Structures are given as structure tokens and as C-alpha cells.
Structure 1
Amino acid sequence: MANERSPSSLRSQSRPVAGAGNNGDWPERGQAAIASESLLLGRASVTIAHEGMNYILRATRAGKLILTK
């Protein structure tokens, strides 16, 4: 896909996220916070492949995220 980004480019866009723990600071050691915009790239939903299963991450009009199998 033309808009696909490599995992290293997504890591470089990681930043502190309010509500991600530690009062908006970086997450606990060993955890990563990735902005939802980096995953969705302007789309309403994306499919995430994880351990042989596909999940759909969808952003609602109200600004919520829903992850389904």
C-alpha cells in the first residue's frame, strides 16, 4: 500500500498521550503509546493482524475507538 508506514516510522511518531497513564507522561517502561492518527492515517477503520487473527480498529464519529474481532 502506498500509505503504509514501517514500524520504525510509527515509533518515531510516538509521543506522550494524555490519559495513557502517568498523567500524560510517557507510559510505563516496556509499554508504547502510539497516537491513533498514526494507525488510522485518515481512515475510519484499519485491520490489525495479531497472532493469526484479524481485528478491526474503528474510530466513531464521537471520537471513540472500538476494537472488534
Structure 2
Amino acid sequence: MIIIVTLIAIFNIMTSLDTTVPRGPLMPKPQPQPDDRRIDSKTLLGPEGRVIIEHDGQHYLLRQTHAGKLILTK
């Protein structure tokens, strides 16, 4: 029981330090628009199932997991 309470306290401290979480009113989830450009993930990822995306001089890896999910990492 003490371990659970301690883990909850640590989680609360860590999330309060997270500056990526917007403060104030919740931001609405972006919705796809009918005129948004679309590309099939198989075309984007190729037969390897992964692609490097360059954005503002930074490189990001977009890959498909074994479960079929997409993961974007820096």
C-alpha cells in the first residue's frame, strides 16, 4: 500500500513538472479537414516500415510497430 501511495505521489510530482501539458482551458483535438493532403502510410514508410522526416533541421524517425501502430521519435 505504501508503494502505491509513493508511486502516485511521484507521478503527481512528475506531471506537475511537465511543461508540455497545456495549462488553462483544454485545447480541442485537431480534426481532419476534407481538403487536408492524405498519403497512405505504406507509401510514406516504404517496404522498410520506417522513414526519416527532417523538420527545421531536426531529424525524426517515423516507424510502424509490429502491432501496426505508428511511433514518431526524435
Query: Higher helix proportion, which one?
Result: 2
The residue type paired with residue 49 of structure 2 is A
Higher RCO, 1 vs 2 (CA within 8 Å, ≥6 residues apart): 1
Deviation at 1:50, TM superposition (A): 1.2
Percent identical across equivalent pairs?
45
Q: Which of 50, 56, 61 matches 1:51?
A: 56
CA distance in 1, matches of 2:52, 2:70: 13
- Structure 1's unaligned 5+ residue stretches are 1-19, 22-26
1:28 to partner: Cα distance: 2.5
Identify the match of residue 67 of structure 2 among 58, 62, 69: 62
Where do 5+ consecutive residues of structure 2 fail to align? 1-30
TM-score when normalising by structure 1: 0.54
- Out of 31, 39, 44, the position equivalent to 1:39 is 44
- Is 1:28 equivalent to 2:34 in the alignment? yes
Give runs of ≥4 in structure 1 deviating > 6 Å: none
Alignment RMSD (CA, Å): 1.8
Hey, what's the Cα distance between the residues in 1 that align with 2:38 and 2:52? Answer: 18
Aligned residues: 44
